[in-house]
Amino acid sequence: MIRDIGYIKVIKSRLGTSIQDEGRFGLSELGVPTSGAMDDISFKFVNHLLKNKPTSAALEISSPGVKLRFESPTVICLAGALAEITLNGKSISLGIHPVSINDELEIGAFLKGSILYLGIKDGFQSGMILNSRSYFAGITTKSQVQKEDRLPYFTNQEIPNFTASHVKWNLNWAETSELEVYPGPEWELLSAETRHTLTTNMFTISIQKTRMGIMMEEPLENFISEMATAPVYPGTVQLTSGGKMFILMRDAQVTGGYPRILQLPENSISILSQKKFNEKIKFKLISI
């Protein structure tokens, strides 16, 4: 098996484009965040369809206006947000696509959802640091994919035979506004009224949405006094001293000092990551 390194030349990029894999585990003791794909469902899907290892790295794109040129042949898979995507100017759907030398892929407007994954045969081969290729400032050399970057992948110098079934991607699973949540460690410290508000009202995704976390628009009453710094995880909902809910996402720090009022399970994190600014969500309390 010949495996040369091929590259994607980044012609245009936008903030919120990075290489992600499953993330870094067991390094929280050093203060290292988990990182990894925001929407684990779509990320897993691209690797599955490409028959990649689940640990293979993909490109995470969260803004339109990304343009890439493939310098060697390969097969790619797109999943996640429904977007206007063209290959050499021709509109293509999500799913598997063979690409050839100098093919150009352009990501346009996002029609539904907010994060798109570009998987590639055998995964991106950017530097593996602390057991993961996930970009993170201070750990990997880059924290964002930028114009002029060259992203490495394996190529056999010919378009591989690919006999994947034409599985149709849909984003229906991410359309629900209802997110299942577990009570967080400080849930019981909330007043009965606040608990009622949390489980009956709708909450709006604010403009502050990053890989670190999502600030919710509506304020909540917070009578809980400052607490000793404690562990937090992706999916932990913090209630800040200013009374705003901050839902931690994949790049969140490993400890925090705000009360942890709710905890989102994996599935809810994926759904939430596909929500856009101004979309509304509702929490549905579940028990173990």
Partner 1 sequence: MKPTFKQITPSLFELNWDKEVNDELLQKQLHFKELLLKDFRTKIIDIRLGFKTLSFQTSKQMDAAILTNWLRFVTEEHHLLPLSDKIWHLPVCYEKEMAADLISLTRAKNMSPEELIFLHSTARYRIHFYGFLPGFMYLNGLPEILHTPRKKSPSFYVPKGSVAIGGSQTGIYPSDSPGGWHLIGNCPSILFDAKDKNSVFAAAGDSVEFYPISTKEFQNLERHQSKPNSK
Indicate the residue among 207 and 228 with the shorter CB distance to partner 1.
Answer: 228
| Contact map string, positions 211 to 230, toward partner 1, x by CB under 8 A | ---------------x-xxx
CB of 265 to partner 1, least distance (A): 6
The residues in 12-51 that bind partner 1, with binding defined as CB under 8 A, are 25-33
Cα–Cα distance for residue pair 164/36, rounded to 1 Å = 26
Residue 123 and residue 153 in contact, taking contact as beta carbons nearer than 8 Å: yes
Q: What is the DSSP letter of 101?
A: T
Return the residues of window 253-272 that contact partner 1 according to CB under 8 A.
253-256, 263, 265
Q: What is the DSSP string of 12-45?
A: E--TTEEEE-S---S-GGGT------SSHHHHHH
Q: Is 231 in the site for partner 1 (CB under 8 A)?
A: yes
138 near partner 1, rule: CB under 8 A: yes
* Per-residue tokens: 15: 């903030």
233 binds partner 1 (CB under 8 A): yes
Per residue in 136-155, is it b (16+ CB within 10 Å) or e — as a string? beebbeeeebeeebebbbbb
What whole-number distance in Å separates Cα of residue 124 and Cα of residue 22? 13
- Shortest distance, CB of residue 166 to partner 1, whole angstroms? 33
Residues 147-186 that bind partner 1 (CB under 8 A): 182-185
Instruction: State the number of binding residues for partner 1 (CB under 8 A).
Output: 32
Residue 130 contacts partner 1 per CB under 8 A: yes
Which residues lie near partner 1 (CB under 8 A)?
25-33, 129-130, 137-140, 182-185, 226, 228-231, 233, 253-256, 263, 265, 288
